[in-house]
Amino acid sequence: MEPIDGDGILNLFKTRMGGAILSSHVDTYVNGVRKKKLQTVWVRVPRESLREAVSLVLEMQAPAHIAVASGSDLGNDIEVLYHFQVFWGFKRESTVSVTIGTTCPKSDPHLPTISDLVPGALITEREKQEFLGIIIDGIPDPRRLFLVDNIPEGKHPWRKDEKGVQDMVRNVHEGGD
């Protein structure tokens, strides 16, 4: 598919996904003396539509380039954002960052895998599992990646609740033994 700009990508998402999009916007920044445009597209979808949204990214450019997935603890939910780069390598400044966000409740922390659609997502999915305490259904290699074995099961560094690692941190400046 020929490269389109951020607004075009957002329109494509809106026409194809329709009501499944929870929220979306395009950020535009300018750079340099010549004030060149740089766009990032943010689309948030429910987890049932995640794979559909990723397939749409694949339609724009395949194989897709996933930069990383980032995640956050929103309180009751866990949000995972998949940062894609689409239209890389076509011509100068053709690339647009497309972020697809989805959430899952902490009571049922399951997300579908996208590593069959984007093989490069395996590493970041493994990291999300161990750091956020979510379960990626269908991940080909569910082992831990960065966390070594001496972090106990059920502890996830990015969680801000009782599953986080705050209680394992020793603040040296507070004294103690």
User: Rule CB under 8 A: which residues touch another protein?
Assistant: 27, 29-36, 38, 40, 42, 63, 65-68, 70-72, 81, 83, 85, 87-90, 92-97, 99, 118-124, 144-152, 157-158, 165, 168, 170, 176-177
- Provide the minimum distance between the beta carbon of 153 and another protein in the complex, in angstroms, as a whole number: 13
Q: Which is nearer to another protein, 55 or 85 (CB)?
A: 85
Q: Which is nearer to another protein, 55 or 72 (CB)?
A: 72
What does DSSP say about strands 110-112 and 96-105: parallel, antiparallel, or unpaired?
A: unpaired
- Structure-token pair, residue 139: 């991940």
CA distances from 136 to 18, 93, 143 (A): 26, 34, 11
- Provide the minimum distance between the beta carbon of 49 and another protein in the complex, in angstroms, as a whole number: 20
- Provide the minimum distance between the beta carbon of 102 and another protein in the complex, in angstroms, as a whole number: 15
Q: Which is nearer to another protein, 56 or 66 (CB)?
A: 66
Q: Which is nearer to another protein, 88 or 110 (CB)?
A: 88
Burial 95-107 (b: 16+ CB within 10 A, else e): bbbbbbbbbbebe
- Provide the minimum distance between the beta carbon of 52 and another protein in the complex, in angstroms, as a whole number: 20
Residue 119's φ and ψ, nearest 5 degrees, are -60, -30
Question: In a 3-state reduction of DSSP, which class is residue 90?
Answer: coil
Cis (ω within 30 of 0) for the bond into 63? yes
Burial class of residue 38 in the structure, from the number of CB atoms within 10 Å of its CB (0-12 exposed, 13-18 middle, 19+ buried): middle
**Do 46 and 98 form a contact (C-beta atoms < 8 A)?**
no
Q: Which is nearer to another protein, 15 or 150 (CB)?
A: 150
- Provide the minimum distance between the beta carbon of 43 and another protein in the complex, in angstroms, as a whole number: 13
